[in-house]
Amino acid sequence: MSSFPSEAERECLVERLRHAAEPLPDPDAATFGGFFSRYADGRVVLIGEASHGTSEFYRARAAITRQLVERHGFNIVAIEGDWPDTARLDRHVRDYPGQPDEDAAFSRFPSWMWRNREVLDFVRWLRRHNAGLPIAERVEFRGLDIYSLRASMAAVLQYLELHDPPRAREARERYACLTPWQGDPAAYGARVEWGDGDSCEAVLGEQFDAYLWFARTTAVTPLQPGTGEAAPGAADTFPFGV
């Protein structure tokens, strides 16, 4: 039995698509972004694309994002990009000081996905948009992916060294499992896949949990039993410990 649709089924699908589709102007047209205000009630708007590296999709995505930011108050742009590299652009668009000795953003694979004219134009627009806003209201530009193993590990350690040196030492111990492979993560993946070495999954899971708690939470203030008042001189706890 064939799994391919019949001619009649294909015609039915085409007709449904034709009925549901809406004609759109060119992505560079001033009216393009307005077609997407219908999604402004959402807390998160996900913008996909049929292919990476296609200028029309990038320009359309930028126009939609500008509409949501300017007209509807969206305040975080999160991309499928390497998070240490995107953090550099975030500091730029929010006019924060850069980090010493940091590499050029998106200089590693897949550099073409984000190191291109279309993204540069959007980043420049976002910096201009933020320039007229108080610091607390400036739109963030964040990365959700990890391609650069070495840079990502270094960013975590740099943060912990500044804010919690003991946990930085713990992180270094956990990262030791991956240190030999930080220049070639694919070799580590192949080695584990083919059973030629141990996985670092368990120990890195511990580090992820620890860093997530540290970055997203603050310590509670212990209360005196039965009083509902904070204990005098009570130490902070992290998390739920002494």
Mean pLDDT of 41-56: 90
Q: To the nearest whole number, what is the mean pLDDT of the chain?
A: 82
- Supply the pLDDT for residue 213: 54
| pTM greater than 0.85 (yes/no) | no
Residue finishing a domain among 83, 110, 145: 145
Contacts of 145 (CB under 8 A, 6+ apart): 80, 81, 82, 83
Over residues 68-74, the mean pLDDT reads 96
Tens of pLDDT, residue by residue over 6-23, are: 889 999 999 999 999 999
Domain identity same for 107 and 183: no
Domain residues for the domain of 66 are 7-145
Q: Is the residue at 222 inside a domain?
A: no
Cβ neighbours of residue 158 closer than 8 Å, sequence gap 6 or more: 99
88 and 169 together in one domain: no
- What is the per-residue pLDDT for 102? 63
Domain boundary pick from 102, 121, 145? 145
Instruction: Judge whether 238 lies within some domain.
Output: no
Give residue 231's pLDDT.
Answer: 46
Q: Is residue 41 part of a domain?
A: yes
**Residue 191 confidence (pLDDT):** 84
Task: Based on the fold, state whether residues 17 and 58 are members of the same structural domain.
Answer: yes
Last residue of a domain, one of 145, 172, 199: 145
Domain identity same for 94 and 161? no
Q: How large is the average pLDDT for residues 205-213?
A: 69
Confidence tier at 74 by pLDDT (50, 70, 90): very high
Q: Give the per-residue pLDDT at 186.
A: 82
Cα 92 from Cα 127, distance rounded (Å) = 7
Average pLDDT of the segment spanning 43-66: 92
Cα–Cα distances in Å, from 132 out to 125, 162, 189?
12, 30, 46
Q: What is the pLDDT of residue 227?
A: 42
What's the whole-number mean pLDDT along residues 76-90? 92
Reply yes or no on whether the pLDDT at 228 is more than 60. Answer: no
Bond into 110 cis (ω within 30): yes
| Between 11 and 109, the higher pLDDT residue | 11
| 239 has a pLDDT exceeding 50 | no
Q: Is residue 110 included in any domain, yes or no?
A: yes
Q: How far apart are CA 82 and CA 139, in angstroms?
A: 18
Same-domain pairing of 67 and 184: no
Are residues 203 and 182 both part of a single domain?
yes
pLDDT for 39 equals 94
C-alpha Rg value of the chain to the nearest Å: 24
Looking at residue 21, what is its pLDDT?
A: 93
Is residue 165 domain-shared with residue 110, that is, in the same domain? Answer: no
With cut-offs at 50, 70 and 90, classify the pLDDT of residue 121. very high
- Is residue 42, in this structure, part of any structural domain at all? yes
Indicate whether 229 belongs to any domain.
Answer: no
Secondary structure class of 145 (helix, strand, coil):
strand
> For 142-182, how does the pLDDT look when each residue is reduced to its tens digit (9 = 90+)?
998 877 888 888 888 888 898 889 989 998 998 888 888 88
Q: Do residues 66 and 179 both lie within one domain?
A: no
